[in-house]
Structure 1
Amino acid sequence: MLTDTRAWVEKQLSTGERVEGVVPLRGGWTSEMRRLDLRGPGGRRSLVLRTFVDPFFVRHAEGLLNREAAVLTLLRKTDVPAAALVAVDAGAHHCDRPSLLMSLLPGSVRVDDGTAAERAGPLARQLLRIHRVPVAGDSRPRAHQAWTSAGRVRPPERTGRPELWRRAVDVIRRDPPPHRGCFLHRDFHPGNVLFSGDGADLRISGVVDWVETSWGPADLDVAHCATALALLHGVPHGMRFADLYTSAGGTLDEDPAAHLYWRLLDALAFAPDAEKVATPWRELGRTDLTPGVMTRRLEDYVEALLERYG
Structure 2
Amino acid sequence: MTDDGRSWGATRSWVEKQLRPAERVEDVVRLRGGWTSEMRRLGIRGPGGRRSLVLRSFVKPFYVRHAEGLLTREASVQRLLDATGVPAARLVAVDATAEHCDHPSLLMTQLPGTVRLTDEGSDRRAELLARQLLGIHRVRVSEETRPRTYEAWTGPERVTVPPATGRPELWRRAVDVIRRDPPDCRPRFLHRDFHPGNVLFDGAGDDPRVSGVVDWVETSWGPADLDVAHCSTALALLHGVPAGMSFADRYTQAGGSLAEDRAAHLYWRLLDALAFAPDAEKVAVPWRELGRTDLTPTVLAGRLEAYVQALLDRYA
Normalising by structure 1, what TM-score?
0.99
User: What is the deviation of 1:201?
Assistant: 3.6
Following the alignment from structure 2 to structure 1, what is the Cα–Cα distance between the partners of residues 35 and 95? 20
The answer on 1:294 being equivalent to 2:294 is no
Following the alignment from structure 1 to structure 2, what is the Cα–Cα distance between the partners of residues 199 and 108? 11
Following the alignment from structure 1 to structure 2, what is the Cα–Cα distance between the partners of residues 138 and 74? 11
4+ long deviations beyond 6 Å: none
User: What is the deviation of 1:199?
Assistant: 5.1
* Count, aligned residues: 310
Residue number in structure 2 paired with 1:166: 172
User: What is the deviation of 1:200?
Assistant: 5.9
Q: Deviations over 1:34-63 (max 9, x none)?
A: 000010000000000000000000000000
Residue number in structure 2 paired with 1:68: 74
Residue number in structure 2 paired with 1:35: 41
Residue number in structure 1 paired with 2:153: 147
2:202 maps to which of 179, 196, 201: 196
Q: Deviations over 1:18-39 (max 9, x none)?
A: 0000000011100000000010
Q: Secondary structure at the match of 2:144?
A: helix
The answer on 1:77 being equivalent to 2:87 is no
User: What is the deviation of 1:137?
Assistant: 1.1
Residue number in structure 1 paired with 2:15: 9
Following the alignment from structure 2 to structure 1, what is the Cα–Cα distance between the partners of residues 221 and 210? 23
Q: Deviations over 1:209-243 (max 9, x none)?
A: 00000000000000000000000000000000000
Map 1:168-247 to 2 at 5 A.
168-198=174-204, 201-247=207-253
Q: Deviations over 1:133-184 (max 9, x none)?
A: 0001111000000000000001101110000000000000110000010000
Q: Secondary structure at the match of 2:94?
A: strand
Contact 2:94 2:106 (8 Å CA) reproduced: yes
Following the alignment from structure 2 to structure 1, what is the Cα–Cα distance between the partners of residues 206 and 11? 42
Residue number in structure 1 paired with 2:54: 48
Q: Secondary structure at the match of 1:102?
A: strand
RMSD: 0.7
Q: Deviations over 1:251-281 (max 9, x none)?
A: 0000000000000000000001100000100
Following the alignment from structure 2 to structure 1, what is the Cα–Cα distance between the partners of residues 229 and 61? 28
Following the alignment from structure 2 to structure 1, what is the Cα–Cα distance between the partners of residues 192 and 255? 19
Following the alignment from structure 1 to structure 2, what is the Cα–Cα distance between the partners of residues 198 and 175? 45
Following the alignment from structure 2 to structure 1, what is the Cα–Cα distance between the partners of residues 79 and 214? 13
Q: Percent identity?
A: 74
Residue number in structure 2 paired with 1:248: 254
After superposing the two structures, state which structure 1 stretch, 1-10 or 191-200, moved more: 191-200
Contact 2:121 2:206 (8 Å CA) reproduced: no
Query: Any gaps of 5 or more consecutive residues in structure 2?
Result: 3-7
Following the alignment from structure 1 to structure 2, what is the Cα–Cα distance between the partners of residues 200 and 42? 35
The amino acid across from 2:71 in the alignment is L
The amino acid across from 1:241 in the alignment is F
Following the alignment from structure 1 to structure 2, what is the Cα–Cα distance between the partners of residues 50 and 134? 27
Contact 2:40 2:54 (8 Å CA) reproduced: yes
Following the alignment from structure 2 to structure 1, what is the Cα–Cα distance between the partners of residues 207 and 257? 27
Map 1:131-146 to 2 at 5 A.
131-146=137-152
Residue number in structure 2 paired with 1:110: 116
Following the alignment from structure 2 to structure 1, what is the Cα–Cα distance between the partners of residues 151 and 91? 25
Q: Secondary structure at the match of 1:139?
A: coil
Following the alignment from structure 2 to structure 1, what is the Cα–Cα distance between the partners of residues 196 and 208? 14
Q: Secondary structure at the match of 1:137?
A: coil
The amino acid across from 2:301 in the alignment is T
Following the alignment from structure 2 to structure 1, what is the Cα–Cα distance between the partners of residues 51 and 115? 20
Contact 2:92 2:108 (8 Å CA) reproduced: yes
Residue number in structure 1 paired with 2:132: 126
Q: Secondary structure at the match of 2:117?
A: coil
Following the alignment from structure 2 to structure 1, what is the Cα–Cα distance between the partners of residues 160 and 57? 30
Following the alignment from structure 1 to structure 2, what is the Cα–Cα distance between the partners of residues 93 and 288? 41
Following the alignment from structure 1 to structure 2, what is the Cα–Cα distance between the partners of residues 283 and 200? 24
Following the alignment from structure 1 to structure 2, what is the Cα–Cα distance between the partners of residues 195 and 228? 17
Q: Deviations over 1:92-126 (max 9, x none)?
A: 00001000000000000000001111100000000
